[in-house]
């Protein structure tokens, strides 16, 4: 019984996350075709490549992406640089200053636009809880 409760709790936590990291070992899964569209992200030469997939399982096994974000890629700003799961856990950021706008995920309910915060670089933005991505320059007013 305890194992069932633990499994259901873990399943709920995974389902409620906006960002999901793909296995790094290149595992291939048997995936359903149940649509729950995600934006798959992979890095190539320091740039993020974004592609919409039917679901996270297909993105991770077929698309060979590093992580997924709920929703179609087109649902987000084109210039969005998503925070990877590893960037969320960085302890210390380099001192390089390159002004960024850090955008919050849907869990943060903002009263005014933009639902974002000015930060000194992508690293410092991604460390903030519920920041989903950054864009170049200062946040719009």
Q: Is the pLDDT of residue 67 over 50?
A: yes
Comparing 32 with 42, the larger pLDDT belongs to 42
In whole angstroms, give the CA distance from residue 126 to residue 135.
Answer: 11
Q: Is the pLDDT of residue 36 over 60?
A: yes
Q: Is residue 31 part of a domain?
A: yes
Tell me the pLDDT of the chain averaged across its residues: 84
Count of CB atoms within 10 A of residue 130's CB?
13
Residues 87 and 55 in one domain: no
Which residue segment(s) compose the domain that 129 sits in? Answer: 77-141
> Which residues lie below 8 Å from residue 7, measured CB to CB, with a gap of 6+?
none
Q: What is the mean pLDDT of residues 84-88?
A: 90
In whole angstroms, give the CA distance from residue 48 to residue 130.
Answer: 20
Residues 87 and 135 in one domain: yes
Residues 92-128: pLDDT tens digits? 887 788 999 999 998 999 999 999 999 999 999 999 9
> Which residues lie below 8 Å from residue 18, measured CB to CB, with a gap of 6+?
69, 70, 105, 106, 107, 132
Residues 118 and 66 in one domain: no
Count of domains for the chain: 2
Q: Is residue 91 part of a domain?
A: yes
Residues 53 and 102 in one domain: no
Q: Which residue has the tokens 């996270």?
A: 56
Residues 96 and 138 in one domain: yes
Residues 70 and 96 in one domain: no
In contact, 98 and 121? CB cutoff 8 Å: yes
Q: What is the mean pLDDT of residues 36-55?
A: 93
pLDDT value for 25:
76
pLDDT value for 97:
87
Q: Is the pLDDT of residue 38 over 80?
A: yes
For the entire predicted model, the pTM comes to 0.79
Residues 96 and 36 in one domain: no
Q: Over 58-76, what HEC string results?
A: HHHHCCCCCEEEECCHHHC
Residues 68 and 86 in one domain: no
Residues 61 and 32 in one domain: yes
Residues 44 and 84 in one domain: no
Using DSSP, state whether 24 is helix, strand or coil.
Answer: coil
Enter the tokens of residue 90: 């960085």
Residues 86 and 127 in one domain: yes
Q: What is the mean pLDDT of residues 31-44?
A: 90
């Amino acid at each position: 019984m305890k194992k069932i409760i633990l499994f259901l709790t873990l399943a709920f936590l995974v389902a409620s996350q906006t960002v999901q990291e793909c296995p790094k070992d290149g595992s291939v899964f048997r995936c359903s075709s149940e649509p729950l569209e995600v934006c798959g992200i992979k890095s190539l030469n320091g740039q993020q490549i974004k592609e919409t997939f039917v679901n996270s399982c297909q993105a991770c096994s077929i698309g060979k992406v590093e992580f997924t974000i709920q929703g179609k890629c087109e649902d987000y700003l084109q210039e969005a640089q998503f925070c990877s799961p590893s960037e969320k856990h960085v302890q210390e950021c380099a001192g390089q200053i390159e002004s960024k706008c850090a955008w919050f995920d849907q869990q943060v309910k903002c009263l005014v636009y933009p639902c974002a915060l000015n930060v000194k670089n992508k690293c410092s933005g991604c460390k903030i809880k519920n920041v989903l991505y950054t864009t170049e320059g200062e946040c719009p007013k």
